[in-house]
Chain A
Amino acid sequence: MSLLLRSHLRHLWRDRWQTLLAVFGIATGVAVVLAVDLANAASREAMRLATQQLDGAATHAITGAGGRVAESEYPGLRLRWRQGDERFADVRAMAPVVTAEVRLSRASEEGPVWPVQLLGVDPVADAGMRAAVPSPAGGAAGRLISEAGTVLVDAGSLRQLGIDPEVESTLWVRSSAGMRAVRVIASFSLGDRALGQGLMIADIATAQELLDRVGWLSRIDLEREQATPTAGWAAFLERLFPGLVMAPVGSEDEDLGGGLRVVSLAEQAADTRALAASFQLNLAALGLLALLVGLFLVHGALTHAVMRRARSFGRLRALGVQAAEIYRMVMAEAVVMAVLGVLAGLLLGRWLASGLLLLVAGTLENLYGQVAAVALVPDLLPLAKAASVGILATVLAALPAASRASQVTPNGRSMVVRQADGPRRARWILLLLLAVSAALHPRLGYAGGLLAVGAVLLIAAALTPPWIRACLRLLLHVLRLAPLQVRLLLRDSERGLLRSGVAAAALVIAMATALGMGLMVESFRSSVDRWLDARLAAPLHLQFAGEHRVLPESLAELLSQSMDGHVFRVTWSDRVAGQPVRVSRISVSGELPEDLGLAMLVGRFAGHGVAISEPLARRLQLSVGSTLTLPMIGGERELSITGVFREYGAGPGLILVPEALALPALPGSAALELYGPRGDLDTVVGALAAAVPEGTRIRHNEALLSQARAVFDRTFQVTSVLQAIAGAVAALGLFAALTALGLERRAQFGVLRTLGVGRLTPVVQNIGEAVLLATAAVLLAMPLGVAVAIILMEVVNVRAFGWSLDWHFPSWLFLQALLASLLAGLLAAALPAWSLYRATPAALMMEVRADA
């Protein structure tokens, strides 16, 4: 090893605490990026597994109006495929499917009930498409086809019901069609990553009977030749940036005529995941921001190390060392730190991911009920990505410091002080402002919004030192008659900005991010609250089991006697203009709130047209007065739009169709909202309970509201954890800077202590400086946090999910940011202050002499 390199590495060791902090900064950034990627990849894998069991190798499906296909269509379609119809040229397999959620129990009356997905298939047509479906050559498939009422159930579900998976048994299936007994002839395993929800496989005829859907299929699955190169590239990008890259929802359907369409299953699966995607997007964005904060720590530490060694570099230059050699040596130091930081970060990230995963799993359960058990997916790509990001980012952060070191002249004094370079900084800020404007261009979508947030945060970083200097000068002007020690504090703080400016910038970024995210979440919470309040204005809410077309007769009379009014909704899935939608047929009766209590953005709910949700309106660029074509049994209908309402819970699209316009009715999941009970609510509930069909859930609005709010809060819990990590990294940066300043000022404090200044003065100075920096930082972070929140709400959320949010900026969030910032400052100052408090004047004076 060259002596020059040895000398540099010894510097790293001599300043080991500073080195350690820089390494920790890199490690934290890498860890958060890795943990977020792993957690997001795990949740996506869980979602994929949950659908894979049902879809298998199927890539597309043929669906019809109301999300169903008449069974009579199937033979004709199969014939077209076999005869080489060009529309099916790339189809390798075609298999009909009947599917629905049902519940299993051991006995017809009491006992545990376990939810499973019923999958009715044609074992011959399905051969090779789904792993769980038995081969047609085997005995199990034969029995499914030949023996009515036979099923296969996954072993996990059987164990849940206390049944030995190895022996045949009889179970009861509860569905909208009632309760029927089935014979379990065999079980199968769902593999290591078991689904939280069970799976029951039956012959298609058995499934139709169990669900009372004879003559109907849910869909016809197609396995098509996969993947154009762009699809492979998109999949790679999704793996590389889980959460940040989302598959586009909706595309042009292929119309097969007769109300039948070919749709992509991958897109269909993505439809219902808007909130999870939002959650993953936020996580991924926060992960990158934590890395950015970590980078400032590295940049600060390296800059500080270089400035401390100006004399040493000067001596080396005087001895004949070239500027380029100094440059390379500083970069070598950065690489050493990067390697150490990345190694530590990968270990830390793996550990952090396990913690995040618990929160993510909880969130997914909250959002979707039972989904696949979440587990970390072994994949080298996120590890390689985190390592590369860590090393590249550290090298980038080190470039300015290396450049500065190489500009030291042999007298060691001509360090380029960029701090004072106002025009250069102004040019950067102008460039970043242009970047923000460009990033906000609609063509860049939500990614542009995220880029704009990043650019705003870099503007924050660039503005921090001049902003703090301006604050300190203003204070100095206001306090010009204050005691000299106060002026000393203000001037020292300003002078120290060369060191502390970068750390303060990191604090500004962390605080602006936390505040921006906090404001966005609060606005989201407030908007969702208002939406829920409106949606659940009715005191009682009934959810019927299975599918219905009309209000059960047993209820109609009871309702007219006991309630002032009600809304009956029948909802089914469909597609409109290539977009997945849910259509609700609305039947109203009696006295109801205006617009059914919908949170209307434009127009109103009226009997002569449909009301559509905001995300759908944005995607299809529709508004009041436009028309949309809705598939119905018996043909398509063109309907005018009378209103657009807020909707956060139904994925990309919801269409409300008045009863009169949606005849004849399609069957679907049914719900009833009840308004104005006449008499005691409990008595009404008792009467309803006796009259509703089996499986109907009667719920009080209050309980639904509190549950929904709890789900929302848990969903964003994980973002709070990441915000706290970013804040902690920033506090560490400030700590490093204040420690460095404390070390540099020991000489000055030595003199002051010798002159008779008390030992508390350096402590007060150090803590005072931290408080000043933290306060100035948070004052800058506040407007920038608001800017971040506005971009997140008005650009990212709107473009990614079609949700508009009401601004809700509670004052306590600003106060919280102030207190968090002050706490970070105080914690950062505590140790250096304590060290100065304990130092004796004699020891400090020795350092004065050594320094001289």
Chain B
Amino acid sequence: MASVLLEVEGLTRVFTQGDRRIPVLENVAFVLSPGQRLTITGRSGSGKSTLLNLLAGLDRPDAGHMVWRVAGRDWNLAELDETTRTAFRRRHLGFVFQFFNLVPTLTALENVALLAELNGLDDPFGRARWRLQRLGLADREDAFPDTLSGGEQQRVAIARALVHEPSVILADEPTGNLDRDTGDAVFAQLLEVLAEENRALVLVTHDPALAIGGDAELALGRAP
């Protein structure tokens, strides 16, 4: 049997609004292996972002478990405290957001180096520079985010997600704020790097085109 990176079983998340209970996720189960690409699809309100929050340890499930098998140990995020979950995120996960979410007061290089520095890796700026070079942004490393185009910002965000060499990238609509051509180009670059480095990808999208070619697809149901 292939090794497992993430095992999710019976994952349930219910929100309450006054007396009303709104089940957003019910009994979600799947397995992710190293280097695999899992695409999570679904309409607006189907729970895609909620699932991503649970996988990242930003939120806790009401039932079920999700165990990351990384660095020789099991990390059941449902049971870990906030500090440990934060440390896990910092070290083992990489994030790419729809709206890039670069820190506006750091340059492209500094945005990328931030995670390497936070993780205490040696030569964070060297690592960051190399990542930016690989993504074709060597000449933009001193630029601040507000002077970069959307495509450039998203490539900086990808570099930032990879700089500390995480086991998996969690990407939330990574091309949702880009035009089709730019989005396709950026996504292709992301896939290329992930494939080369054998890193897993959990992709949340409502774009069917991005789902094509993935190793697995998890389609979440219609919102109640």
Residue of B nearest to A753 (CB): B86
A756 touches B89 (CB 8 A): yes
Q: Taking chain A's interface residues, is the majority helix, strand, or loop, or is none over half, making it mixed?
A: helix
A755 touches B115 (CB 8 A): yes
* Other contacts beyond A484-B113, A756-B86: 13, CB < 8 A: A484-B106, A491-B106, A494-B105, A748-B104, A755-B90, A755-B115, A755-B118, A756-B118, A757-B118, A759-B83, A845-B58, A848-B101, A852-B99
Q: Which of A737-772 contact B (CB under 8 A)?
A: 747-748, 751-759
Kindly state whether residue A488 has any CB partner on chain B within 8 Å: yes
With A488-B106, A842-B59 as known contacts, state yes or no: A756 contacts B91, CB within 8 Å: yes
B101 touches A484 (CB 8 A): no
Q: Please give, as numbers and ranges, the residues of chain A lying within 8 Å of B110 by CB-CB distance.
A: 484, 487
B103 touches A748 (CB 8 A): yes
Kindly state whether residue A443 has any CB partner on chain B within 8 Å: no
How would residues 491 to 511 of chain A score, 1 for a CB under 8 Å from any chain B CB and 0 otherwise?
Answer: 110110000000000000000
Kindly state whether residue B138 has any CB partner on chain A within 8 Å: no
Choose one: A487, A751, A755, A840; the contact of B59 (CB below 8 Å): A840
Choose one: A484, A491, A842, A852; the contact of B58 (CB below 8 Å): A842
Q: Please give, as numbers and ranges, the residues of chain A lying within 8 Å of B115 by CB-CB distance.
A: 755-756
Band of interface residues on A = 20 to 34
A754 touches B95 (CB 8 A): yes
A residues neighboring B (CB under 8 Å): 483-485, 487-488, 491-492, 494-495, 747-748, 751-759, 840-842, 845, 848-849, 852
Sample of 14 A–B contacts (CB below 8 Å): A483-B117, A484-B113, A484-B124, A748-B104, A751-B103, A754-B89, A755-B115, A756-B86, A756-B90, A756-B93, A756-B115, A756-B118, A840-B59, A848-B97
Kindly state whether residue B87 has any CB partner on chain A within 8 Å: yes
Q: How far is the CA of A756 from the CA of B83 in the complex (A)?
A: 9
How would residues 75 to 115 of chain B score, 1 for a CB under 8 Å from any chain A CB and 0 otherwise?
Answer: 00000001100111111010101110101111000100111
Q: How far is the CA of A755 from the CA of B169 in the complex (A)?
A: 11
Residue of A nearest to B98 (CB): A852
Kindly state whether residue B198 has any CB partner on chain A within 8 Å: no
A754 touches B56 (CB 8 A): yes
Q: Please give, as numbers and ranges, the residues of chain B lying within 8 Å of A840 by CB-CB distance.
A: 58-59, 82
Shortest beta-carbon distance, B150 to chain A, in Å? 13
Q: Which of B113-142 contact A (CB under 8 A)?
A: 113-115, 117-119, 124
With A840-B58, A842-B53, A842-B58 as known contacts, state yes or no: A488 contacts B103, CB within 8 Å: yes
A758 touches B58 (CB 8 A): no
Q: How far is the CA of A758 from the CA of B84 in the complex (A)?
A: 10
Q: Which of B23-69 contact A (CB under 8 A)?
A: 49, 53, 56, 58-59
Residue of B nearest to A757 (CB): B118
Q: Please give, as numbers and ranges, the residues of chain B lying within 8 Å of A747 by CB-CB distance.
A: 101
Q: How far is the CA of A748 from the CA of B105 in the complex (A)?
A: 10
B residues neighboring A (CB under 8 Å): 49, 53, 56, 58-59, 82-83, 86-91, 93, 95, 97-99, 101, 103-106, 110, 113-115, 117-119, 124, 160
6 pairs of A and B residues whose beta carbons are closest in the complex: A756-B90, A491-B105, A756-B89, A751-B101, A842-B59, A842-B58
Q: How far is the CA of A488 from the CA of B115 in the complex (A)?
A: 13
Q: How far is the CA of A311 from the CA of B49 in the complex (A)?
A: 26
Residue of B nearest to A849 (CB): B49
Shortest beta-carbon distance, B84 to chain A, in Å? 11
B98 touches A758 (CB 8 A): no
Q: Please give, as numbers and ranges, the residues of chain B lying within 8 Å of A757 by CB-CB distance.
A: 86, 90, 118
Q: How far is the CA of A492 from the CA of B144 in the complex (A)?
A: 13
Residue of B nearest to A756 (CB): B90
Shortest beta-carbon distance, B205 to chain A, in Å? 15
Q: Please give, as numbers and ranges, the residues of chain B lying within 8 Å of A755 by CB-CB distance.
A: 89-90, 95, 114-115, 118, 160
B97 touches A758 (CB 8 A): no
Shortest beta-carbon distance, A789 to chain B, in Å? 38
Shortest beta-carbon distance, B46 to chain A, in Å? 15
Task: Select the residue from B53, B89, B105 with max chain A CB neighbours within 10 A.
Answer: B105
Residue of A nearest to B106 (CB): A488
Q: Please give, as numbers and ranges, the residues of chain B lying within 8 Å of A852 by CB-CB distance.
A: 98-99
Q: Please give, as numbers and ranges, the residues of chain A lying within 8 Å of B87 by CB-CB distance.
A: 756
Q: Please give, as numbers and ranges, the residues of chain A lying within 8 Å of B93 by CB-CB distance.
A: 756
Residue of B nearest to A492 (CB): B105
Q: How far is the CA of A748 from the CA of B106 in the complex (A)?
A: 12
Shortest beta-carbon distance, A763 to chain B, in Å? 14
Q: How far is the CA of A756 from the CA of B95 in the complex (A)?
A: 10
Q: How far is the CA of A492 from the CA of B160 in the complex (A)?
A: 19
Q: Please give, as numbers and ranges, the residues of chain B lying within 8 Å of A483 by CB-CB distance.
A: 117
Q: How far is the CA of A495 from the CA of B98 in the complex (A)?
A: 24
Q: How far is the CA of A849 from the CA of B106 in the complex (A)?
A: 21
Residue of A nearest to B83 (CB): A758
Q: Please give, as numbers and ranges, the residues of chain A lying within 8 Å of B99 by CB-CB distance.
A: 848, 852
